């Protein structure tokens, strides 16, 4: 895979993480602004949104780490890993 394709993928994932993070922060700010006026249902819904966004950010961070590893890994290590995966697949 060309390095430019991987770089664009990593940049896209980083942008997505930033957008999700900004959404979390915006909702957290809105949550604080609701203050005493908020009811239990609103609080629960906002907690669910924050949990979902946090889980999504964690998942995206893991994917970005994998892509970063692929980008920074030298060709020999990558080729060795691919061959190892092929052998494992052939056995299973």
User: What string of pLDDT tens digits covers the 92 residues of the chain?
Assistant: 677 777 778 888 888 888 887 777 777 666 555 554 556 777 888 889 999 999 999 999 999 888 888 777 777 787 888 888 899 888 86
pTM of whole model > 0.75?
A: no
CA quadruple 28, 33, 34, 37: dihedral positive or negative?
A: positive
Domain total for the chain? 1
Q: Which domain holds residue 66?
A: 3-91
Instruction: Please give the Cα distance from 82 to 60 (Å, whole number).
Output: 23
């Amino acid at each position: 895979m060309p390095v430019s394709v991987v770089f664009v993928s990593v940049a896209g994932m980083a942008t997505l993480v930033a957008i999700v993070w900004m959404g979390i922060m915006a909702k957290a700010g809105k949550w604080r602004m609701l203050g005493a006026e908020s009811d239990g249902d609103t609080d629960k819904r906002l907690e669910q949104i924050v949990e979902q966004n946090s889980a999504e950010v964690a998942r995206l961070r893991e994917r970005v780490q994998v892509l970063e590893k692929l980008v920074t890994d030298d060709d020999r290590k990558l080729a060795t890993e691919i061959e190892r995966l092929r052998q494992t697949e052939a056995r299973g």
